[in-house]
Amino acid sequence: MKPPSRTGSVSVVPKVTEESPPPRVGIVGGGQLARMMAESASQWGLALSVLASRTDDSAVATVPHFELGDPNDPAIVTPWAEQCDVVTFDHELVDLDLYATLEAAGVLVAPSTAALRFASSKVYQRETLGAAGVRVPRYVVLRDYNAESIDAFWNAVGPELVLKSDRGGYDGRGVVMTSTRDDAHDAARELLEHGAIVLEEKLLLLAEIAGVVVTGHSGERRSYPLVHTVQSAGMCVEVRYPLTLDAATHAEAADLVEKVASIVNAVGVMAVELFVTERGVILNEVATRPHNSGHWTIEGCVTSQFENHLRAVAGLPLGDVSALHDHVVMVNVVGSTEPGSLRAALALPGVHVHDYGKSWRTGRKLGHVTVVGTDSSVRVRAWEGAEALGTSTTRETT
Ligand code: ADP
């Protein structure tokens, strides 16, 4: 078999079998999610093409085929997409109108742009899921600065408010917490320069949890076990399995994940982030792609979220989502002032290192480590691994 091309242009790619070639999957975006999808695909020979923005994008080093170009430029995307059997995404910050045009022209886009809209707009997500009876924080949408609306909302649910940009935010960027009326006005003015915002009540969080589900084209859906997520400055730093919540709250959360997943109806993997509060389980947000809260599934579950995402979008049978171990902890490696030591991390027993191959930058997610085991001590080793690699976050943030 001819080795796959390493040039930018899409070329003939190897087929698993001549009888039933699996579809060629195009991934929009070359970030670490595309990289981990490619790592999975290489194990079982699925043909991929990544549309990367830059040659130093995380996935470029690991995929056999990539195209270089702006994922929102029709002149780049259209010919690339037409050579893929299905197009999926590394991130949701894309021009939905462009991908909807491709869908209308017969390109298979998974998840669909209708599902992607939930993840790409916090306003749409709050309004649509709230209207469908999903419990969301009390909120108000602002498209222009309006002092009376802010004052009225502040009087109703203040003094602490959370302001969120409608689009473009991730890892806590585009989210501002305020504790005074003046700060709320200032933050609203600033965020509104970039588009609409959601103002919401600041909830007292007892825990943050997440559910990852995978859905096939036929509607078949499987749910990974729920996990605890720990954030620092709005960014996820740690994910823990199993969930240690009372049975009633666990069941409430699982029902909410199922309800949200069936409304969003995203083919592939999606994540549902939830807040546990005194008022019950409340939706935070959804992502219509593999998610940081699912990285633990690479070593922790029978089928990783990356493999299952590719299986789902390619129309292949979904894999088992059961956990393989009693305890699994994943800790992100977030850039500090200088890199740590791979040698020191690998010297720690059971530490699985995932390096995304990105240039070192303070505050940037550069990789993660996972430790599996039979008791909760895996958490200590996972943090030791991330610290050896130089993470800037501390385990005291829990
Ligand atoms: P992003 O889209 O950037 O991931 P999120 O909306 O998930 O941002 O918010 C990031 C973090 O901020 C959450 O994980 C949570 O810790 C905190 N947060 C967000 N909204 C609220 C809220 N309404 N009340 C309390 N904390 C919140």
Taking only the tens place, the pLDDT of each residue in 303-349 is 999 999 999 999 999 999 999 999 999 999 999 888 899 999 999 99
Ligand 1, atom 15: closest residue by C-alpha:
234
What per-residue confidence (pLDDT) applies to 313?
A: 98
Query: d(Cα 381, Cα 369) in Å, to the nearest integer?
Result: 9
Query: d(Cα 130, Cα 330) in Å, to the nearest integer?
Result: 31
Looking from the CA of residue 200, the nearest atom of ligand 1 is: 23
- What residues have CB less than 8 Å from 225, skipping those under 6 apart? 241, 242, 243, 301, 321, 322, 323
Is residue 164 in contact with ligand 1, taking CB distance under 6 Å? yes
* Strand, coil or helix: 135: coil
Ligand 1, atom 23: closest residue by C-alpha:
202
The encoded tokens of residue 62 equal 């690991």
Question: Which element (helix H / strand E) includes 99?
Answer: helix 96-104
What per-residue confidence (pLDDT) applies to 169?
A: 75
Q: What's the pTM?
A: 0.93
Query: d(Cα 329, Cα 379) in Å, to the nearest integer?
Result: 6
For a mutational test of ligand 1's pocket, the pick from 120, 135, 140, 162, i.e. the residue with the most ligand atoms closer than 8 A to its C-beta, is 162
Strand 25-28 to 86-89 pairing: parallel
Of 367, 360, 365, give the one whose Cα is nearest residue 382.
367
For a mutational test of ligand 1's pocket, the pick from 92, 230, 284, 332, i.e. the residue with the most ligand atoms closer than 8 A to its C-beta, is 284
Is residue 234 in contact with ligand 1, taking CB distance under 6 Å? yes
What per-residue confidence (pLDDT) applies to 194?
A: 92
For a mutational test of ligand 1's pocket, the pick from 129, 173, 175, i.e. the residue with the most ligand atoms closer than 8 A to its C-beta, is 175
Is residue 277 in contact with ligand 1, taking CB distance under 6 Å? no
What per-residue confidence (pLDDT) applies to 18?
A: 52
Domains and CATH numbers, the chain: 6-109 (3.40.50.20), 138-201 (3.30.1490.20), 207-388 (3.30.470.20)
Rounded-to-10 torsion of CA 348, 351, 381, 389: 80
Taking the alpha carbons at both ends of the chain, their separation in whole angstroms is 51
- The label of the residue with tokens 């956990």 reads 323
Is residue 90 in contact with ligand 1, taking CB distance under 6 Å? no
Ligand 1, atom 17: closest residue by C-alpha:
234
Query: d(Cα 44, Cα 311) in Å, to the nearest integer?
Result: 11
The encoded tokens of residue 15 equal 């087929």
Strand 268-277 to 207-215 pairing: antiparallel
265 CA → ligand 1 middle, Å: 23
The DSSP letter of residue 294 is G
Is residue 26 in contact with ligand 1, taking CB distance under 6 Å? no
Is residue 207 in contact with ligand 1, taking CB distance under 6 Å? no
Is residue 139 in contact with ligand 1, taking CB distance under 6 Å? no
What per-residue confidence (pLDDT) applies to 397?
A: 47
Q: Would you write out the chain's pLDDT as a tens digit for each of its 398 residues? A: 333 334 443 333 344 455 567 899 999 999 999 999 999 999 998 999 999 999 999 999 999 889 999 999 999 999 999 999 999 999 998 999 999 999 999 999 999 999 999 999 999 999 999 999 999 999 999 999 999 999 999 999 989 999 999 998 777 778 999 999 999 999 999 999 999 999 999 999 999 999 999 999 999 999 999 999 999 988 999 999 999 999 999 999 999 999 999 999 999 999 999 999 999 999 999 999 999 999 999 999 999 999 999 999 999 999 999 999 999 999 999 998 888 999 999 999 999 999 999 988 888 999 999 999 999 999 999 999 999 999 998 886 44
Ligand 1, atom 5: closest residue by C-alpha:
172
* Strand, coil or helix: 141: strand
Ligand 1, atom 10: closest residue by C-alpha:
234
5 CA → ligand 1 middle, Å: 42
- What residues have CB less than 8 Å from 323, skipping those under 6 apart? 225, 241, 242, 300, 301
What per-residue confidence (pLDDT) applies to 396?
A: 64
